[in-house]
Structure formats: C-alpha cells, structure tokens
Amino acid sequence: MTEDLSPSLALDTATALRAAADQRPYPAWFPPAMGIGYAASLSLMGISYLMHGAASRVFGLTGAALVVLTFATMLPVVLGWRRAGVVPKFDDCDVDPARRRQQLWSAGLAAAGAAAAMVLVVVAQWGWIEIAFGLVIGVQTWRRLARRAVR
C-alpha cells in the first residue's frame, strides 16, 4: 500500500467495484421495452402503407416517433452504467481482433443490406413485409436481451 491508498480505502474501493460489477447489465424493463418498441413502431409504419388518407400519415408519424423513443430508452441504461462506475463487459469483448474485424465487416454488410431492404419496402410500399419484419425483430431483440440479462 502507498500513502495515498490505505488498506481500508483499497478494501472500500474493491467492495464498491464488486457491487457495481455484480449488477445486472440493464434494468428488467429494458428487454421488453426494446422488443415492444421495435415491433410496435415498425408495425405502425407498415400499417400506414396499407391505409390511405390522413390516417396513413398519422400511423406513419406515430411509428417514426416510436422508433426515436425506442432508441431513447438506451440513454437511461447508459447513464446508469456511468453512475455505477462500471460498464458491463459482454461476451463479444473477448474475441480475437482478427475475428472481431470479420464480425464487424459482416455486421456492416448485413446493416447495409437491411437498410437497402427497408428502402425497397418504403419505396414499394410493402406494408405487410414491414409489419412481419417488425414483429420478428421485436421478438428476437426481447429474447436476446432477456437471455443476456440472466447471465
């Protein structure tokens, strides 16, 4: 121990860090909020393509606002991590750098493909595809986040 770090201060620091690290990576409300948010927002936007008139715009704008609100739910989670002093380390962090680059490249290609598919859905106004995609993404997100929270 040094003059700046007494044994009691070191023990208190270790105890505080252990308590922060033992916390769940995010609150219990987060997986359902993200899953329902994705499913509802994309479904509302898909419904807007199937309707005509002013109701179509209302559904579309409500879905778009819900997408923004769904992404905004990440803010309190990240602020909670910062307040606790420890950002959770997920399994993906222990990957070999070469494999990580490959994963990022694959994810980038998949994101570009998904973006192109969504542009096609919007341009072609295929509402049912967007509704189905929203429900699948919502269920998968909820399931994946809930499984990760249990670990």
Q: Which residues contact residue 97 at a Cβ distance below 8 angstroms, ignoring those fewer than 6 apart?
A: none
pLDDT at 80: 80
Give percent above pLDDT 70 in the chain: 85
Residue 149 and residue 26 in contact, taking contact as beta carbons nearer than 8 Å: yes
Who has greater pLDDT, 119 or 72?
72
Encode 92-101: b = buried (16+ Cβ within 10 Å), e = exposed.
eeeeeeeeee
CA distance 151 to 144: 11
Q: Is residue 103 part of a domain?
A: no
Query: Is 92 or 73 the better-scoring residue by pLDDT?
Result: 73
Task: Determine, yes or no, domain membership for 121.
Answer: no
Overall domain count for the chain: 1
pLDDT in tens, 33-82: 999 999 999 899 889 888 888 888 899 899 999 999 999 998 888 888 77
CA gyration radius for the chain? 21
Residue 21 lies in a domain: yes
pTM exceeds 0.75 for this model: no
Task: Say what the pLDDT of residue 18 is.
Answer: 74
Q: Is residue 97 part of a domain?
A: no
